[in-house]
Amino acid sequence: MISDDSFVLIVGAGPVGLTLALDLGLRGVPAILVNENVETANHPKCNIVNGRSIEHFSRLGVANDIRRENFSGDVQERVSFRTRFCGHELGSIALPFVGEKNWPGPESPWFGVSQVVLESILKQHAHKQASIDLRFGWRATDITIDEEAHTRR
Ligand SMILES: Cc1cc2nc3c(=O)[nH]c(=O)nc-3n(C[C@H](O)[C@H](O)[C@H](O)COP(=O)(O)OP(=O)(O)OC[C@H]3O[C@@H](n4cnc5c(N)ncnc54)[C@H](O)[C@@H]3O)c2cc1C
C-alpha cells in the first residue's frame, strides 16, 4: 500500500511513465512510479523515435544518450504492412529521409533506437532524480482518494 505524501502516482514504466517521472523529477515534484514488471521492456517494441520526441528528450537532458544509440543510416526506409512477416505486402509508407536537408525541425525526422534501450536510458535518468521513487515489481490494483489527506495539505 502507498500512503505517503507524494503528489503524483505514475502507473507504468513505459516510455510515457518514465518520461513523466523524469520531467517531474527535474521540477522537484515528488512522485512514485509503479511498474508491474521487475525491469523495463526486454522484448522488441518501437525501433523508431521521432525527431519531435528527441526535442523533448533534449529538454530533459537525455537526448545525447539516445543519439549515441541511433542506428538509422543514410538510407531511405519504408514501413511495410504485410499479412505476415514474409507474406503479401498490403501497402507501405516511406519514412522521411533522415538526411533530408529541408526538414523543418531542429532534429532528424526520426532516430533508430530500440525501445529496450530507450526505456533503460530513461530509467537511469529518472533514477537520479531525488524526488522520484521508482518501484519495479509493483502492480497498481486499486486507488482510493483520501479526502482528509487531501485537505490536510
Ligand atoms: C512491435 C511494436 C513495434 C512498435 N514500433 C514503434 C515505433 O517504431 N515507434 C513508435 O513510436 N512506437 C512504436 N510502437 C508503439 C510503442 O511501443 C508504444 O506506443 C509505447 O510502448 C507506449 O508507451 P507507454 O509508456 O504509453 O505504454 P507501455 O510501453 O505499454 O508501458 C506501460 C507499462 O505499464 C505497465 N503496467 C500496466 N498496468 C499496470 C499496473 N496496473 N500496475 C503497474 N504497472 C502496469 C506495463 O506492464 C508496461 O510496462 C511499437 C509497438 C509494438 C508492439
Q: What CA–CA distance (Å, rounded) separates 91 from 73?
A: 23
pTM comes to: 0.90
**Mean local confidence (pLDDT), 144-150:** 72
**Mean local confidence (pLDDT), 71-93:** 90
Place 49 in a pLDDT band, splitting at 50, 70 and 90.
very high
The Å distance, Cα 27 to ligand 1 centre, comes to 25
Considering only CA atoms, which residue is closest to atom 31 of ligand 1? Answer: 14
The Å distance, Cα 45 to ligand 1 centre, comes to 8
| 83-139 per-position pLDDT tens digit | 999 999 999 999 888 888 888 889 989 999 999 999 999 999 999 999 999 999 999
| pLDDT of 136 | 98
Q: Does domain 1-46+114-153 have CATH number 3.40.50.300?
A: no
